[in-house]
């Protein structure tokens, strides 16, 4: 990347921001905790449950400061960043506890400030400010675009769209693409159609049957307040090798908009938000990938590698100093562990660890501690043993969401059922063997009846009120996540 004046101005502005943040931290210790993960990984539910537990006194035996009674109280305070929407905590809690529905998922960045009054182990009273920043993981996958030309991005995106189950989903977009001449005059209507078909293709890849993860540019599926703007209206073209875009051509127009996307969307996000985070949790819905099939699992692994790349601390280019994260703890969390019997929780954790390990070993994490956990922010199931013949099978009991179907039965959203979720694979070498797709069948191969795994969407749990106050939200290992993410800051 070329050195230029605007980078230098940015560098100075960022340094001033860092000094301001540092001063703030000195007098008012603050942790900026990023919560990310791909669409429907469980960010909204995680943040809602975490805040609810801290405000209402949840059951957190592994969160030491809380369990030993050193936390006097936690309270919400006005969110400090004027340009970022507030995380809609109150309405999310009402949806969860009163309507027994899951809250509206993350579509844009949002933030909430929680202030924790606590006592140090030596008895001194202190306050920790926790700023929780919720943002789509898809946005992290845009980082590589900054060093990629429009032409290179086009070639890569087209190659990806011709492989595996993606090819089928890209048929309509490919057919339109074949009618376009990159050297012809710029045509707004052709660009609009191309961008629409390309976005439809990305959306189809994300559908739960395919559960693809690697779908940049991130804002095409998560446009936030930029929906419909030219910076989000472009698509790959089959551009000729070793030529340059003629002035006024369709190619030049797409190229300009691609560059605008980087300037208007990607750089500001990394500069203004990502680089200011101190701690990060990355939520991963591995079970959705198991539902969909081996390609989805493979794709998820590639997306995780992309996400991990953003946390590489030791990159030495000038460009990266603008975007260098200061994050010193990263937790990868496999969510929705309540879909599994507890005997499988460790297995889920081991699978995520394996997916992350490879990427971590390729990265330079000298300054950041990394850990992995399988958790459920809100536990929607309980465990039971169900007699089948002479055997007692470990099963989980929950209420499948309305419209879910299993073994030909459609659920009404009110009936509780016991299911045998199936054992996750134990042979991880086989599961992640390079070169070979893992050997299991998912929804992307046909009907649900032939899939090896079927994790149904469940309704949130019915909460037993012990009279008066809102009851606890049950969870699995949420306290372990809290201990890793902020436990040391409450010492
Ligand atoms: P986001 O897109 O990352 O904000 O994802 P959400 O937090 O909205 O979660 C997406 C969906 O996953 C929810 O609507 C629930 O169906 C499901 N979900 C999330 N967390 C849990 C959990 O802890 N247990 C269960 N059973 N389902 C969950």
Question: In terms of domains, do 371 and 387 share one?
Answer: no
pLDDT score, position 440: 72
Task: For residue 457, tell me if it sits in a domain.
Answer: no
CATH number of the domain residue 119 falls in: 3.40.50.300
Q: DSSP for 344-413?
A: GHHHHHHHHHHHHHHHHHHS--TT-EEEEEE-BSS---EEEEEEETTEEEEEEEE-BPTT-EETTEEP-S
Contact 11, 157 (CB under 8 A): no
Residue 460 and residue 378 in contact, taking contact as beta carbons nearer than 8 Å: yes
What is the Cα gyration radius of the chain? 24
- The residue contributing the CA closest to ligand 1 atom 20 is 42
Q: Which domain holds residue 168?
A: 147-265
Task: Note whether 373 and 294 are same-domain residues.
Answer: yes
> pLDDT tens for residues 278-307?
999 999 999 998 888 888 888 888 888 888
Q: Which residues of the chain have pLDDT under 70?
A: 1-27, 313-325, 358-359, 361-367, 434-439, 443-450, 465-470
* Judgement on whether residues 478 and 358 belong to the same structural domain of the protein: yes
Domain assignment of residue 461, yes or no: no
Q: How far is the CA of 375 from the centre of ligand 1 (A)?
A: 12
Tell me, yes or no, whether 310 lies in a domain: yes
Closest atom of ligand 1 to CA, residue 37: 3
Length of the chain: 491
Q: Which of 153, 262, 243 is nearest to 198 (CA)?
A: 153
The answer to whether the CB of 40 is under 6 A from ligand 1 is: yes
* Residue 201, strand partner residues: none
The answer, yes or no, to whether any atom of ligand 1 lies below 6 A from the CB of 329, is no
Residue 388 belongs to some domain of the structure: yes
Q: Write out the H or E segment, with its range, that includes residue 305.
A: helix 294-310
Over the range 101-129, which residues count as b (16 or more CB within 10 Å of their CB) and which as e? ebbeebebbbbbbbbbebbeeeeeeeebb
pLDDT attached to residue 58 = 86
Q: In this structure, is residue 460 part of a structural domain?
A: no
Domain shared by 44 and 119, yes or no: yes
Same domain for 93 and 24: yes
Q: How far is the centre of ligand 1, averaged over its atoms, from the C-alpha of 367 (Å)?
A: 31
Q: How many separate domains does the chain show?
A: 3
pLDDT digits (tens, 9 = 90+) for 77-89: 998 889 899 999 9
Selection from 219, 196, 227 nearest residue 268 by Cα: 219
Same domain, 126 and 108: yes
369 and 403 in a single domain? The answer is no
Rounded Cα gap, residues 404 and 59, in angstroms = 31
- Kindly state if the Cβ of 42 falls inside 6 Å of ligand 1: yes
H helix and E strand count, the chain: 17, 12
Ligand 1 closest atom vs CA 103: 8
For ligand 1, say whether the CB of 336 is within 6 Å of any of its atoms.
yes
Residue 478: inside a domain:
yes
Residues 240 and 364 in one domain: no
Residue 421 C-alpha to ligand 1 middle, in angstroms? 18
Domain presence at residue 466: no
Q: Check whether residue 367 and residue 438 sit in a common domain.
A: no
Q: Whose CA is nearest to atom 10 of ligand 1?
A: 40
Report how far ligand 1's centroid is from the alpha carbon of 428 (Å): 26
What's the gap in Å between 483 CA and the centre of ligand 1? Answer: 22
User: What's the 336 CA to ligand 1 centre distance in angstroms?
Assistant: 7
pLDDT at 114: 97
Please check whether residues 303 and 365 belong to one and the same domain. Answer: yes
Do residues 348 and 480 both lie within one domain?
A: yes
Q: Does residue 186 contact residue 195 with C-beta atoms inside 8 Å?
A: no
Probe ligand 1: pick from 37, 44, 45, 91, max atoms within 8 Å of CB?
A: 45
Quote the ligand 1 centre to 218 CA distance (angstroms). Answer: 20
Binding site membership of 249 for ligand 1 (Cβ less than 6 Å): no
| pLDDT value of position 356 | 87
Q: Check pocket membership of 377 for ligand 1, CB cut-off 6 A.
A: yes
236 Cα to the center of ligand 1, angstroms: 32
Does one domain contain both 95 and 240?
Answer: no
CA of 158 relative to ligand 1 center, distance in Å: 31
In a domain, 463, yes or no: no
């Amino acid at each position: 990347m070329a050195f230029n004046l605007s980078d230098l101005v940015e560098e100075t502005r960022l340094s001033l921001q860092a000094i301001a943040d540092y001063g703030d931290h000195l007098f008012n210790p603050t942790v900026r905790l990023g919560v990310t993960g791909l669409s429907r990984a469980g960010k909204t539910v995680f943040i809602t449950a975490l805040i609810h537990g801290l405000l209402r006194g949840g059951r957190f035996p592994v969160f030491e400061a809380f369990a030993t009674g050193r936390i006097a109280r936690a309270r919400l305070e006005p969110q400090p960043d004027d340009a970022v929407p507030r995380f809609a905590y109150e309405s999310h809690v009402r949806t969860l506890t009163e309507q027994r529905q899951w809250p509206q998922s993350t579509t844009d960045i949002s933030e909430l400030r929680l202030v924790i009054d606590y006592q140090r182990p030596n008895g001194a009273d202190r306050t920790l400010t926790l700023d929780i920043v919720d943002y789509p993981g898809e946005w992290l996958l845009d980082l590589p675009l900054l060093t990629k030309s429009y032409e290179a991005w086009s070639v890569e995106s087209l190659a990806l769209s011709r492989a595996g189950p993606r090819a089928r989903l890209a048929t309509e977009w490919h057919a339109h693409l074949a009618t376009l001449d990159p050297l012809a005059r710029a045509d707004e209507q052709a660009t609009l159609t191309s961008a629409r078909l390309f976005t439809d293709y990305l959306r189809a890849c994300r559908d739960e049957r395919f559960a693809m993860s690697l779908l940049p540019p991130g804002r095409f599926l998560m446009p936030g307040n930029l929906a419909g703007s030219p910076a989000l209206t472009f698509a790959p073209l089959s551009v000729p090798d070793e030529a340059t875009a003629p002035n006024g051509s369709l190619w030049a127009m797409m190229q300009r908009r691609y560059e605008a996307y980087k300037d208007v969307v990607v750089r500001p996000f990394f500069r203004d938000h990502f680089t200011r985070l101190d701690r990060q949790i990355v939520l991963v819905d591995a079970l959705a990938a198991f539902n969909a099939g081996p390609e989805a699992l493979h794709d998820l692994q590639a997306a995780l590698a992309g996400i991990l790349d953003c946390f590489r601390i030791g990159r030495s280019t000038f460009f990266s100093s603008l975007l260098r994260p200061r994050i010193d703890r990263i937790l990868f969390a496999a969510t929705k562990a309540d879909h599994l019997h507890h005997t499988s929780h460790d297995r889920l954790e081991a699978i995520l660890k394996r997916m992350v390990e490879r990427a971590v070993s390729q990265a330079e994490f000298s300054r950041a501690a990394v850990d992995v956990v399988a958790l459920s922010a809100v536990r929607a199931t309980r465990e039971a043993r169900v007699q089948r013949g002479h055997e007692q099978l470990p099963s989980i009991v929950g209420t499948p969401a309305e419209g879910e179907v299993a073994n030909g039965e459609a659920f009404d959203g009110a009936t509780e059922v016991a299911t045998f979720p199936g054992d996750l694979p134990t042979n991880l070498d086989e599961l992640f063997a390079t070169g070979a797709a893992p050997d299991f069948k998912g929804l992307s191969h046909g009907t649900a009846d032939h899939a090896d795994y079927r994790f149904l969407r469940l309704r949130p749990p019915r909460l037993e009120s012990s009279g008066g106050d809102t009851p606890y939200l049950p969870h699995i290992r949420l306290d372990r996540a809290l201990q890793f993410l902020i436990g040391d800051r409450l010492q």
